[in-house]
Structure 1
C-alpha cells in the first residue's frame, strides 16, 4: 500500500520508482534525446546525498542552484532534500550584484551552476561570501569543480545515515528559499516547507487531464516555483518530463516530443498566435478568406456555451481546414496548456480552445507555493477572462479596498530574516495580502484587475489601473511592450516598444523605408499607426483612463538592464527614472 507524500522526496519511492519509466527525464544532447530512467535518477540522487554527507553538509545548510533547466537540476534538488539541507534556486540571468546579496543573506555553503558563464558570475559573487566552500558545474569547465566529484567522494556506508536523516525530516520543515524577483528593492527570500508545495500540487493534480502515458515539455525556469511545483505534480502522476533545448527551439522540440501538456507565459502564446495570423494574412484568395473566417469563429468561442447547430458545424469545418494545423504546430497531442505569471488575453484563450487546444489560466505568487486559483480543464470548470476558482484547500477574501486576501496550507512561513515584512504580508488572522486587486465573479471565479501599488491618481483625482490598460493595448499585433504612466498628470500616457517584425511588414506594404528600429520609431506614419491602435482600445475605457499620448522606444526592456523582472514584469520606478525627460515631454 502506498504511503502518503508528506515530504517532496517521498515522490521518489511513491511515484518515480512505482511508475518505473525509462524516460523520467529527457534532454537533447548533440542532436539526440538522452533519457534518464527511474533507476538512474534515484541512484544518482542517492549518490549525491552520500557525497553531501562526506563533504560535511548538515541539516539546514543552504545550497544554491543556478542553471538553465536540465535533469541535473532535479537530481541536485532531491539530493539536497535527502540530507535535510535547503535549496536556494536562483535565476541564471540576474546580476552578479543580486548573487552577492543572496549568497550573503542566505549564508550559502555550496553552489551548483550550469555552464562556464554562470561559473564566472558565481565565482565573482562568491568573493564576498566567506560561507561558500565550493562551486560545482554541470558542464565540464576548465578550472572548476565538476558536480560528479560530489558523487565520487560518496561513501555508501552512509546509506543508513541518510535514512535516519530522512525519517527526522517533518512535513513542515523548510524545503527551499526562493528569492522573489521583485519590482522594487532587494530580493526577499520566501521560506517554503515541504507541506506548502505538496498541498499546492495535491490541490491541483485532479484537474490535469494527464496520466502516466503522457509527456510534458518544460522550458520555463525551474527556479521559478510555478514550474518547479508543476514538475513535482508531473512526477506524482508519472508524466515523463522533456526539457526544451532553449526558448528558440521550442517549436522544433514540440514537434519532436509531441507532448500532452506544457506550462507557459502568455507572451509565448501571443507570439505563436501572431506568427500564425501573420502567415494567414500572407495567403491569397480563397485560402485567406477561409483562414479569416476560421479565425473569426475562434474569437467568438466559449467552452461553456453551446454556440448552436450552425456555429458548431462551421467550427468543425474550421477545425478540419485550419485549426488542425495549429494542433500540428504544437505536436498534435496537446490536452492542456497551463498559462500563468501574467494576464492571458481572453481572445487568445477563446481561439486556442476553439482550435481544440485547451488553455488553463491560473494565478498565484511565490508566497503561496504558488497557485492560489486556477481554471479547470478536467472536469470543465472555468470562465474565460478569469483565473478560475480557488485551489482546493484554500480560501479567498476580497478586502474593503479590493485587495485579494488568501489563506491556505500553501502559504509561506515568511520572508527569511525579514520579520517586519513578513507581518506586512501575512496579517494576525493568517491572511496573505497578495497586493493584487480583484473580484469574484459569480461568487467563485477570481478576476484580477490590477496591482494595488501600481494604481495611480491623475491630477483630476481619478484613479487609473495601468495594468488593465496595458493588457488590453498589448492585444495589438504592433505592440510588444508597454508601460502606462501619468501619476499626478492630467491624463495617462504610455511608453511603447513596437513589435518590430510586424512593423517591418506594415512599413514594407506602405512603402515606408525601414533602415533601423531607432529611425522607424521616429516616423510620423508609424507613430500614427500605433496611436490608432491605442485609440481602438481606448474606446473600452472611461475618458479619464484613456491613453492620450505615446512615446515609441527602439530598445526593448530587458532583465539584464534591470528594467523588467525575470518574470517579465516592468520595474516601473526604474523605467520612469530612465525615461524621465521623455515622460515629462508628453505633458509639456
Structure 2
C-alpha cells in the first residue's frame, strides 16, 4: 500500500477529528495570523498569531457554547461574515459541536439571506456585525427556527428584544467555558460521535440563474479533501498561506481543511482592498486566488509601465513577450524531458528581463511566493504564461461546490498552463462520449441538493457519477483542459459552435484595460461582445490622451476609447476562426460587479443577468443584420 493510499484509506471521519489530532501533534506551532488595525485608525495594521492550542481553546468554547444553546448533531448554524480568523474558529466550533455550517456571503441581500436561513433550517446565525444582524432582524417573523444570532463584532449590535435572541461571540465563548467546567468532555465526545456521512456543510451555490441550491457536503468530503491535498505534496508544513478568498465559497473552505492536515501557517484577511498592502508584510509562500485578481495585477503592472513613458512601456511589452515565450519553452521541455530548459538566447533575454521587470513583480507579491493556485473560473493562458515566465507559478485547478472544490490541480513543477492539471488521488474522471461533458466520481462528491431530489437526480447518477456541466478534454497522461460550460456554448445560426469563455480569455490577454467581457452570438450569424473596462487603468490612459479630469462614464463613451478598443478587437480577431471573430462590440457605461448582480460573489459572470441588463446595446449591435 502506497503512502497516498494509506493517507486516504485511513482518513478519520471528519475534519473536526483531524483538527483535534493537529492540536495534539503541534500545539505550540503557529496556526493563524490575523490583522489588528491600529487604535488610532491610521497607519499599517499589526499582525497577531494564534497557536494551534490557542485556536483549540476558542474552538472548544464556541462548540460548547452552541451545545449549551441547544444545537444538536447535524442542525445548521449559519455564518454570514467576511473572511477572518473568527470565521474559521466559528466554523470549526460548529463542526466540533457535531452541527453543520450553512455559509452565507456577507454581500447577500436580506431577502436571499432569509431564504437560505429558512431553507437550511438554521438554528443559529453567526453574524459579522450589525449590518448582517439587521438582515435577520428584518425577516425574523419568517424565521421561526432561528433561535439565536451570535454577533462577532458586537459593539453596535445591542439586544433590545430582551429575550436573549442576540448575543456576542464573546458571550457565547464565556457560556461555552462555563459549560465545559461542568461537562469537560462535551466537545471531545461530540467529535468522537461524528460519522463520515453526517452533514458537515450546506453551501448555497451563488448560481448564475435562479434561486441558490443548498449543496450537502458530509464530513467525509472534507476529511478526504484534507488528506488528498496532503498526499499531493502541494503544501509543506513550513509554508505561509495568505488567505483572503470568501470562506462562504467552497474554494476558500477547502483551503482551511488542507491547512489542518498539513499544519502550515495561514495569514487570514478577507479585505480585498488590502491584498496589495498585505503581501509584502505577510510574505506568503503560497496563495490561492481567482483569475480576476491576476488579471487586475497584470493590468496594473501594464498601466504603471505605460505611465512611465513610451520607452518604459516598450520594455514591459518586450519583457511580457519574453516571459510567455520562456514559459512555453520550459513547460514544453519539462513535458518532453522532465527538465525545464530554454534555448540559450532566450535564457539571456529572460535574465535581462528578470532584472528589469520580473524581480520587481515578485517583490510586490512578497518575494517568497512559491506557488499560486487559481480556480473558480478559467485563467486566460496568455496571462498564465506571463506570470509563469516571471517566476510566479500559477497552478490552475478545477472543481465545483458539488465536488468540494478541489477535483483537479496542476502538479508543482510539472504544471501546464491552460490546463487544470490532474485529478486528485481517489477521484475518478471520464469524458462523456456524446458531448464531451466531464463526469466525476469519488469521496468529494456531494450527497445532493438540500430538499431537491429532482434537481439532484438531474446531475447525480445512482452509481455516483456526477455531471459537472463542463466540457473538457483529457490528455493521455491525465491533464484536463476545460473548454467551456456546457450551457454556455454558443451555436451560431450557421451551425458553428463557439466557446465564449475561450474567446473572452484571449481578449483579456490582448487588452490591458478590460475588466469583464461577454461574447454573444447564439442563434446569430456573427459574434458580438460587451466590454467593461477597468476604471483605474482606463482613467490613467485617458489622462495621457486629452481626456484628463473626465468621469469614467464620459471616458468609456468617448470616440477615443471606441477607437482604442477597435484596435484590440482587431488583434483578437487575428487569432480566431472566422466564425469566432467579433464583428461588433459595445463598451459598457459601467463595470460589472457583485453589487449590481452581474457577478456572483466568487466573481463569475452571470450571463443571463448581463444580457437582460444591456439588451438595448445588444439589439443595437444586431440592428440591420438579417436576424434583427
TM range (shorter): over 0.9
Is the deviation greater in 202-211 or in 65-74?
A: 202-211
Closer, same or farther: CA 369–142 of 1 in aligned 2, 3 Å: closer
Is the deviation greater in 202-211 or in 443-452?
A: 202-211
Partner of 2:282: 257
Kindly report the root-mean-square deviation, in angstroms, between the aligned alpha carbons of the 2 structures.
2.0
Matched, 1:96 2:133: no
* Deviation for aligned residue 1:390: 1.4
Partner of 2:53: 39
* Deviation for aligned residue 1:4: 4.5
Deviating beyond 6 angstroms after TM superposition, the runs of 4 or more aligned structure 1 residues are: none
Matched, 1:146 2:181: no
Task: Give the 5 Å matches for 1:54-453.
Answer: 54-140=68-154, 141-144=156-159, 145-154=167-176, 155-156=179-180, 157-244=182-269, 246-283=271-308, 290-302=315-327, 303-304=330-331, 305=333, 306-377=341-412, 380-399=413-432, 400-453=434-487
* Deviation for aligned residue 1:293: 3.8
Closer, same or farther: CA 319–413 of 1 in aligned 2, 3 Å: same
Matched, 1:568 2:603: yes
Matched, 1:583 2:618: yes
Aligned to 1:381, the other structure's residue is in SS state coil
Partner of 1:458: 492
Aligned to 2:57, the other structure's residue is in SS state helix
The question of whether the paired residues in 2 share the 8 Å contact of 1:95 and 1:560 is answered with no
User: Which whole-Å deviations, capped at 9, do the CAs of 1:231-251 have from their partners, x for residues lacking one?
Assistant: 221222121111236111111
The question of whether the paired residues in 1 share the 8 Å contact of 2:324 and 2:388 is answered with no
Is the deviation greater in 478-487 or in 260-269?
A: 478-487
Aligned to 1:480, the other structure's residue is in SS state strand
Closer, same or farther: CA 322–84 of 1 in aligned 2, 3 Å: same
* Deviation for aligned residue 1:127: 3.2
Closer, same or farther: CA 262–551 of 1 in aligned 2, 3 Å: same
Aligned to 2:63, the other structure's residue is in SS state helix
CA distance in 1: counterparts of 2:308 and 2:199, whole angstroms: 56
User: Which whole-Å deviations, capped at 9, do the CAs of 1:13-70 have from their partners, x for residues lacking one?
Assistant: 3223322245311211123212222222111111222222221111121110011111
CA distance in 2: counterparts of 1:293 and 1:587, whole angstroms: 38
Is the deviation greater in 410-419 or in 82-91?
A: 82-91
Aligned to 1:159, the other structure's residue is in SS state coil
Aligned to 1:24, the other structure's residue is in SS state strand
* Deviation for aligned residue 1:289: 5.7
Is the deviation greater in 324-333 or in 154-163?
A: 154-163
Partner of 2:563: 528
Aligned partner of 1:15 among 17, 22, 25: 22
Task: Give the 5 Å matches for 1:507-546.
Answer: 507-512=542-547, 515-546=550-581
The question of whether the paired residues in 2 share the 8 Å contact of 1:49 and 1:80 is answered with yes
CA distance in 2: counterparts of 1:529 and 1:335, whole angstroms: 37
CA distance in 1: counterparts of 2:392 and 2:505, whole angstroms: 22
The question of whether the paired residues in 1 share the 8 Å contact of 2:305 and 2:313 is answered with yes
Aligned residues: 585
User: Which whole-Å deviations, capped at 9, do the CAs of 1:151-203 have from their partners, x for residues lacking one?
Assistant: 22231222334333322211222111000011111101101112112222322
Is the deviation greater in 8-17 or in 513-522?
A: 513-522
Closer, same or farther: CA 460–287 of 1 in aligned 2, 3 Å: closer
Tell me the TM-score normalised to structure 1 length.
0.95
Closer, same or farther: CA 245–375 of 1 in aligned 2, 3 Å: closer
* Deviation for aligned residue 1:493: 1.2
Closer, same or farther: CA 414–216 of 1 in aligned 2, 3 Å: same
Q: Which runs of 5+ in 2 are unaligned?
A: 1-6, 38-44, 160-166, 334-340, 624-628
Closer, same or farther: CA 153–283 of 1 in aligned 2, 3 Å: closer
CA distance in 1: counterparts of 2:314 and 2:541, whole angstroms: 20
* Deviation for aligned residue 1:252: 1.4
Closer, same or farther: CA 551–218 of 1 in aligned 2, 3 Å: same
Aligned to 1:383, the other structure's residue is in SS state coil
Tell me the TM-score normalised to structure 2 length.
0.89
The question of whether the paired residues in 2 share the 8 Å contact of 1:402 and 1:439 is answered with yes
CA distance in 1: counterparts of 2:189 and 2:28, whole angstroms: 28
* Deviation for aligned residue 1:113: 0.9
Is the deviation greater in 538-547 or in 252-261?
A: 538-547
User: Which whole-Å deviations, capped at 9, do the CAs of 1:404-463 have from their partners, x for residues lacking one?
Assistant: 111111111111101111111112332111111111134521111111111232222333
CA distance in 2: counterparts of 1:542 and 1:294, whole angstroms: 28
CA distance in 1: counterparts of 2:137 and 2:325, whole angstroms: 54
* Deviation for aligned residue 1:485: 1.9
Aligned to 1:69, the other structure's residue is in SS state coil
Closer, same or farther: CA 89–261 of 1 in aligned 2, 3 Å: same
The question of whether the paired residues in 2 share the 8 Å contact of 1:94 and 1:560 is answered with no
CA distance in 2: counterparts of 1:73 and 1:163, whole angstroms: 21
CA distance in 1: counterparts of 2:100 and 2:567, whole angstroms: 52
CA distance in 2: counterparts of 1:560 and 1:294, whole angstroms: 36
